[in-house]
Each structure stands twice: as structure tokens, then as C-alpha cells.
């Protein structure tokens, strides 16, 4: 069933009463963002349940845990101030802190201007409650609680607190919910479930359920909330669920008598605690009848309501009857649908074990990086921007992009030891040695909300320098001004040229971007994630990932470049057609038991990176006879071997490297360099969102990142 638009529900209405400016933003974005404060056992558990219900939890607050993530996807900040710099449109907060620290946490939230604050914590000292109430009045905050089970808005699919999913909204069709119904406002949380079931059994929808809180002193009383519910156009009736103790009910009844215009809609009351003895607390701190007092008793509350013209139900059956009378026997939904929903909830099988990533969604013939297709990214974004996206989940703005460039360029200008590479030593092994021993990289800070991405940029700069050492192109990095685009530094490190060929520069960067990530299952990602689970240092973990990039994993591009080169050379030398030379060499490879690299893929039948690389190669004028061969190599292989193996990204990169007359080994260097960005993202995701030394089943991974979106 389709939920109502956020700007049609009661929560939006409450927000608009307190922060009209924020309501306008919500109307534009279609999102009501919330924050959870306090991540103990209860806060963490109910954060998951709120999220499952549909609540958009944008962020969480837990001092000392800033930079990590809750439930794998929700960023955690040390303070509300930090949080709002990243997420300025948060409209509601739930507070789950211990009563000893709840005051400071709640006031911090209130002072940031968040309009709706739901204080779950119970037993807060009265002197602390006093300070919280003063702050709430000063900042025009709707404070609900403490000691509240929270609030829930069934038509919107939003709950803030611990109320279960047992409340049912209006149905306006077989496919969508509507906003109308009864609003329940209660001091007790437990009784809400019974009220909901009773009303649902006769087809009465609940458009909102508000738990005012059970402590003796709370933020919003019946007298505050009932008129608000009345003002909301889609509330047809209000059910007030009171209990003995205090004088909330009596004050509400008095206000109804004095200001009837504030209460234009029907009210039905239910009061718990009829048989409670004087002086005994019944569940809540506020539910206690003081001996000899004329208020706070069941009888005093009942008489007050009846004198104000509000019927008081003695049981659920009476409540159902009174509501039906007031609403003229209207029904809001088919009761069969309600029972069907509840049966589905209770009969639901246990969820299969899984864990989440928000970095890359690997789909057949498609790669999604934080919601964006990699094809679009390859066409429109540079390497540093893409690395930033992998780590942070969004592209940087211009100011931030410039800051990241400076970090990477500075890292590339720092001197490195003379790179020594043993004969036949793989480039991956050489890079591992030097990255692990790089003191500058090890000491570079990674704390704070931007620490991870800054360290990634620094590592990319250092690795560019080490690549120049491996390729003996360090002279090309001398006398840098510091104002160069980072793509120029990459070009110099790869080619050794000081004069930058912009088209070739773009092509090299494009191949690197095409290699940045392929999810958590490739060996390089697995090695980094396993290392990160033990909380090994960053440079060690990413070096682990690079270390497993061998000829088996990551070496296909170099071998493909060599194969394409052999085909073209044979064609020229023997004066035969390229297709014929390719078929001859394929047969020779097969007879010798050698693989023809760059063909086939375990996920893709058409590699999503193929066409965009071909297009950029054509646009930059790089495309030549090797790439032309790459476009027909799959068909030739099928003729020779009888197998349909489409060319993959390694094969395309190999052909382009050959057309650029670069050493075939450059293809592997580009793969390693691009993949380093993905390894960095996986490292920081692991340490920020997963428990230490967890047992990792990589087949259980689920993408929980951004929904599909497009670059503008």
C-alpha cells in the first residue's frame, strides 16, 4: 500500500506549526528527516525498528563515536552541531540517553532549533526536567515526554520511539492509504496497543498516536496536544487515554469548558486505574493518587470529563461503542486487511543473515556507486571526485574538491625513498612494501567526519609518487607548482612526460575511474575488509588488498594488451588481415593451454564499462587498430573456441593501453591505482559500521546504499 505524502500528514502539520521554514523544505524534498540521540541497547534496537517501519533516520548522536555508523548506513556524530552542518533539515529527534545525562543531551538538541523532540528517557530528576522545559519554551519546541513510548503516524509510515507496528491507517483505495482517522493521545504506552486493536476491529483508522509520557513532569500535556490534534484537518475524533494521578485530565476538562472553540471535534476518554489504592504508584511515576486529594483519582477525572461533555468509556467495548456513535458508524478500512497484515507480521519467517554495504551495488551488466551508475561517473567525473564519492557517499562541492586536490597534490610532492624493484617482482608487491613503510601515510590523521576521505586523498597522492618511482618517471614530478590538476600528476607519473597531452591525460584518468571498485567480493576487497575487521592500520589493510592483485586477479589488462599487440604485429609482419592473425594466435594460445585474457566476466554478460571506455577513446583520438580489434575479439573467439565470452573492462583497457603505445604493465598499474580508492572506502566502512573480528560471509552482503539517481 502506498503511504501518503509527508506534507499531508500530522507530523508535517506539527512541524509547520513550529518551523514553517523547515516545513517548506520538507514540501520540496518530500522527506522528513529524524535523528536519534543515545545509542545504548534500547536506542540501537529501536533505531532498527523505526527504520524498518519507514522512518528516515538521517543521523545519530553518540559522543566518542563520531565518524562511525549505526546500522551500517546511519552516520554517527559526536554533537548535534556537527550533525546539523551535514544534515541541516532534521525535523525531529528521539532522545534515548540515561536519565543522568538526558538533560544536557535534550537541551543540546532543543537549542539547535529542531522543532519536534521526543524524550524517551524515564526518571529524569525534576530539577533537570525544569531546565529542559525552560529551553523548550524558549526555542518554541514541541517536547513530548519524558518517559514516553514515542509517537507514530501510520499513514506516513513514520514512528519516533518504541511503539510497535499495530496501528492501522485509512484506506482510500486498494493501493493507497489516506490521512484521515482518529488521533489517540495517551499517558500509558501499554494501553495504546489494546486501544488500537479495539478500534481496528471495527474499521476505525488511527492517523496519529501520541504518547505524552508517564513521568510526573513532562513536556506536553493533554491540554497542549489535544487542541493541536483538533486543528489538524484530517483528525475526525480524539481519544484521550488517561490514568490516575496528577491533574492532566482535570485541566484538559476545565479548558474544554472554558474554551470550547479550541475543541471543535468529538473527544472520547478512557481512564485507567479505577481500583488503584491511594498512595500506591501504578506503573508510572505520575500515576499515583495522593491521600486526601480531590484530584488525581479515577472518580475526579471521570467527573471532570463528564462535566465537560466528554464521554468516559469504562472498557474497550464501551470505547468502541462511543467512537462509533460519535463518528456515525463510519469505517475507514476493510477490517480483513488489518487482520491479514497482522497475520503476515506474526507469520513472517526469520530474516536470513546478512550484512550491508553502502558503497557499490554490483548488478548484472550494471555497477552502482552510491546510487550513480559507474558509466555516468566515468564519463563525467575525475578520479579524486569518484574516490570522494566512494568514501563519503556524495560528490564534493567545488570548495571541498579543491581542498581534496591540495591534499593529494601535496602528498605527491613529498619525497620518497629510492624505489627498488627486484627482477620479475610484481608491481603490486613493490607498492605493498613502500605503502606499509610510509611513515607520512601512517601518521596522517583519519579521525573526525572528514578524516577518512582526507586520508584516502593523501594515500592516492603518495601512491602516485610511488608509481612514478616504480615506472622511473620521478623527474616528471619535479618542479610542481602545486596548482596542477591532480590528473596532470597522474599523467606525468604514468607517462614520464612533463608536457601534458590533455586528451591522453583524460583517457588515463578515465581508465583509472573505470577500475575503482567492483563490490566486496573480489579478492582485493575481501583481503582489505578482513584486515580492517581486526582494526589493522589503514595503510596495512589497503596494502593487503593491493598485495592480492596478481596476474590471476587484476592482471588481465596487461595480458590483454600484450595479446592485442601480438595480433597487430603478426598482421603487419605476415601481411594478413588482423582477424586472421587473431584467430591464428588464439589457436596457438589454446593449444599451449594459455588463457586469452580480457574476455568473460563472472557477473556481466556485457561489461557496463566497455562502451563508455570505447566512446572516450574515440573522443580523445586514442582509439586505433588495437581497440578496433577489441570490438570484434569476442566474435573471433567464438569462431575459434565455440564459446561466447564478451570482452570485459580489462580487455578494453588493454586495447587502449596498446593504442597509446604504453608498456602493457601500465594496464595493471592503472587497475591497482583505481582499485585503491575502492579499497579505502571498504576499509573505512568496515571499521565504522561493523563489529571487531566479525565472521564475514561475503555471500551474505546486501547493498543498502542510495537509491538509483543520475548526475545532473
Strands 312-313 vs 116-119: parallel, antiparallel or unpaired: unpaired
> Do the Cβ atoms of 669 and 334 come closer than 8 Å?
no
Contacts of 224 (CB under 8 A, 6+ apart): none
Q: Which three cell numbers stand for residue 81?
A: 552541531
Provide the β-strand partners of residue 355: 701
SS3 state at 360: strand
Whole-angstrom Cα distance, residue 532 to residue 68?
14
Cα 496 to Cα 12, 17, 479: the distances in Å are 60, 64, 14
Q: Where are the alpha helices (DSSP H) in 157-238?
A: 190-200, 222-231
Crossing angle of helices 538-547 and 523-533, rounded to 10°:
150
- The residue ranges of DSSP E strands in 56-176, in sequence order, are 56-61, 69-70, 74-77, 90-95, 116-119, 142-145, 150-153, 158-161, 170-171
Whole-angstrom Cα distance, residue 470 to residue 665?
11
> Do the Cβ atoms of 139 and 126 come closer than 8 Å?
no
Whole-angstrom Cα distance, residue 632 to residue 615?
16
> Do the Cβ atoms of 547 and 525 come closer than 8 Å?
no
Give CA 610 to chain center in angstroms: 29
Whole-angstrom Cα distance, residue 436 to residue 433?
6
Provide the β-strand partners of residue 77: 61
Query: CB atoms < 10 A from the CB of 126, how many?
Result: 10
Please give the DSSP secondary-structure letter assigned to residue 164.
-
Whole-angstrom Cα distance, residue 122 to residue 660?
69
Whole-angstrom Cα distance, residue 648 to residue 614?
12
Whole-angstrom Cα distance, residue 571 to residue 574?
6
> If you compute the radius of gyration of the chain from its CA atoms, what whole number of angstroms results?
32
Please give the DSSP secondary-structure letter assigned to residue 7.
G
SS3 state at 419: coil
Provide the β-strand partners of residue 133: none
Cα 457 to Cα 66, 213, 385, 406, 480: the distances in Å are 20, 49, 10, 9, 18
- Active-site residue list: 284
Q: Is the dihedral of CA 542, 543, 548, 554 positive or negative?
A: positive
Could you tell me which of 115, 301, 91 has the C-alpha nearest to residue 220? 115
Work out the angle at residue 630's Cα, subtended by the Cα atoms of residues 624 and 635, and round it to the nearest 5 degrees.
140
Contacts of 678 (CB under 8 A, 6+ apart): 359, 360, 390, 516, 517, 518, 525
Q: Which three cell numbers stand for residue 643?
A: 564459446
Q: Where are the alpha helices (DSSP H) in 393-485?
A: 398-413, 427-436, 439-443, 451-470
- Which residue shows C-alpha cell 551535514? 86
Please give the DSSP secondary-structure letter assigned to residue 241.
E
Strands 701-703 vs 355-357: parallel, antiparallel or unpaired: parallel
- The residue ranges of DSSP E strands in 90-176, in sequence order, are 90-95, 116-119, 142-145, 150-153, 158-161, 170-171
Write the DSSP string, 246-265. SSHHHHHHHHHHH-GGG--S
Q: Which three cell numbers stand for residue 344?
A: 503476515
Amino acid at each position: 500500500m502506498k503511504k501518503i505524502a509527508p506534507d499531508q500528514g500530522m507530523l508535517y502539520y506539527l512541524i509547520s506549526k513550529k518551523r514553517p521554514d523547515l516545513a517548506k523544505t520538507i514540501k520540496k524534498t518530500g522527506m522528513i528527516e529524524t535523528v536519534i540521540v543515545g545509542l545504548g541497547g534500547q536506542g540501537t534496537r529501536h533505531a532498527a525498528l523505526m527504520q524498518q517501519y519507514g522512518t528516515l533516520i538521517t543521523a545519530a548522536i553518540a559522543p566518542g563515536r563520531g565518524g562511525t555508523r549505526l546500522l551500517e548506513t546511519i552516520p554517527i556524530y559526536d554533537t548535534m552541531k556537527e550533525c546539523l552542518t551535514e544534515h541541516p533539515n532534521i525535523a525531529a529527534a528521539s532522545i534515548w540517553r540515561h536519565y543522568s545525562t538526558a538533560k544536557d543531551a535534550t537541551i543540546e538538541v532543543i537549542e539547535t532549533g529542531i522543532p519536534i523532540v521526543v524524550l524517551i528517557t524515564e526518571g529524569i530528576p525534576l530539577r533537570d526536567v525544569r531546565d529542559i522545559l525552560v529551553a523548550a519554551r524558549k526555542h518554541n519546541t514541541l517536547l513530548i515526554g519524558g518517559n514516553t513510548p514515542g509517537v507514530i503516524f501510520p499513514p506516513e509510515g513514520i514512528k519516533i520511539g518504541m511503539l510497535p507496528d499495530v496501528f492501522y491507517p485509512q484506506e482510500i483505495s486498494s493501493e493507497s492509504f489516506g490521512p484521515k482517522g482518529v488521533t489517540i493521545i495517551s499517558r500509558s504506552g501499554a494501553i495504546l496497543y489494546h486501544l488500537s486493536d479495539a478500534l481496528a476491529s471495527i474499521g476505525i483508522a488511527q492517523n496519529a498516536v501520541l504518547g505524552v509520557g508517564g513521568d510526573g513532569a513532562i513536556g506536553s500535556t493533554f491540554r497542549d496536544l489535544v487542541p493541536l490534534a483538533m486543528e489538524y484537518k484530517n483528525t475526525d475524533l480524539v481519544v484521550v487515554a488517561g490514568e490516575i494521578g496528577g491533574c492532566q485530565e482535570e485541566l484538559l476538562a476545565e479548558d474544554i469548558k472554558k474554551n470550547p472553540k479550541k475543541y471543535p471535534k468529538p473527544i472520547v476518554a478512557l481512564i485507567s486505574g479505577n481500583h488503584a489504592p491511594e498512595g500506591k504508584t501504578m506503573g508510572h511515576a505520575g500515576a499515583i493518587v495522593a491521600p486526601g486529594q480531590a484530584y488525581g483519582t479515577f472518580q475526579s477525572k471521570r467527573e471532570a470529563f463528564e462535566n465537560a461533555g466528554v464521554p468516559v468509556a469504562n472498557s474497550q467495548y464501551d470505547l468502541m461503542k462511543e467512537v462509533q456513535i460519535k463518528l456515525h458508524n463510519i469505517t475507514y478500512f476493510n477490517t480483513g486487511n488489518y487482520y491479514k497484515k497482522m497475520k503476515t507480521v506474526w507469520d513472517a519467517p526469520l530474516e536470513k543473515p546478512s550484512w550491508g554495504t553502502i558503497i557499490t551495488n554490483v548488478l548484472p551488466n550494471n555497477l552502482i556507486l552510491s546510487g550513480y551508475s559507474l558509466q555516468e561517473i566515468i564519463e563525467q567525473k575525475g578520479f579524486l571526485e569518484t574516490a570522494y564519492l566512494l568514501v563519503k557517499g556524495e560528490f564534493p562541492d567545488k570548495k571541498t574538491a579543491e581542498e581534496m586536490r591540495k591534499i593529494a597534490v601535496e602528498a605527491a610532492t613529498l619525497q620518497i625513498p629510492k624505489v627498488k624493484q627486484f627482477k620479475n617482482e610484481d608491481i603490486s608487491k613493490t607498492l605493498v612494501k613502500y605503502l606499509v613503510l610510509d611513515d607520512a601515510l601512517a601518521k596522517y590523521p583519519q579521525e573526525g567526519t572528514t578524516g577518512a576521505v582526507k586520508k584516502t586523498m593523501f594515500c592516492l597522492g603518495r601512491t602516485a609518487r610511488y608509481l612514478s618511482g616504480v615506472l622511473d618517471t620521478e623527474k616528471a614530478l619535479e618542479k610542481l607548482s602545486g596548482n596542477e590538476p591532480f590528473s596532470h600528476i597522474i599523467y606525468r607519473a604514468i607517462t614520464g612526460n612533463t608536457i601534458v597531452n590533455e586528451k591522453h591525460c583524460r583517457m588515463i584518468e578515465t581508465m583509472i575511474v573505470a577500475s575503482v571498485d567492483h563490490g566486496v567480493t573480489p579478492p582485493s576487497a575481501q583481503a582489505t575488509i578482513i584486515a580492517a575487521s581486526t582494526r589493522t592500520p589503514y595503510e596495512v589493510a589497503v596494502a593487503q588488498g593491493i598485495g592480492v592483485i596478481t596476474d590471476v586477479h587484476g592482471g588481465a589488462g596487461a595480458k590483454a594488451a600484450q595479446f592485442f599487440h601480438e595480433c597487430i604485429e603478426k598482421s603487419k609482419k605476415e601481411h594478413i588481415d588482423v582477424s586472421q592473425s587473431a584467430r591464428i594466435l588464439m589457436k596457438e594460445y589454446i593449444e599451449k593451454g594459455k588463457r586469452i585474457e580480457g574476455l568473460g566476466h563472472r557477473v556481466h554478460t556485457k561489461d557496463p564499462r566497455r562502451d563508455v571506455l570505447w566512446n572516450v577513446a574515440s573522443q580523445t583520438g586514442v582509439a586505433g587498430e588495437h581497440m578496433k580489434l577489441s570490438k570484434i575479439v569476442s566474435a573471433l573467439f567464438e569462431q575459434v573456441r565455440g564459446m561466447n565470452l564478451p570482452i570485459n573492462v580489462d580487455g578494453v583497457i588493454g586495447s587502449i593501453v596498446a593504442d597509446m603505445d604504453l608498456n602493457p604493465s601500465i594496464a595493471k598499474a592503472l587497475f591497482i591505482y583505481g582499485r585503491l580508492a575502492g579499497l579505502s572506502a571498504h576499509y573505512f566502512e568496515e571499521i565504522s559500521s561493523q563489529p571487531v573480528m566479525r565472521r564475514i560471509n561475503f555471500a551474505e552482503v546486501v547493498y543498502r546504499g542510495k537509491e538509483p539517481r543520475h548526475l545532473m
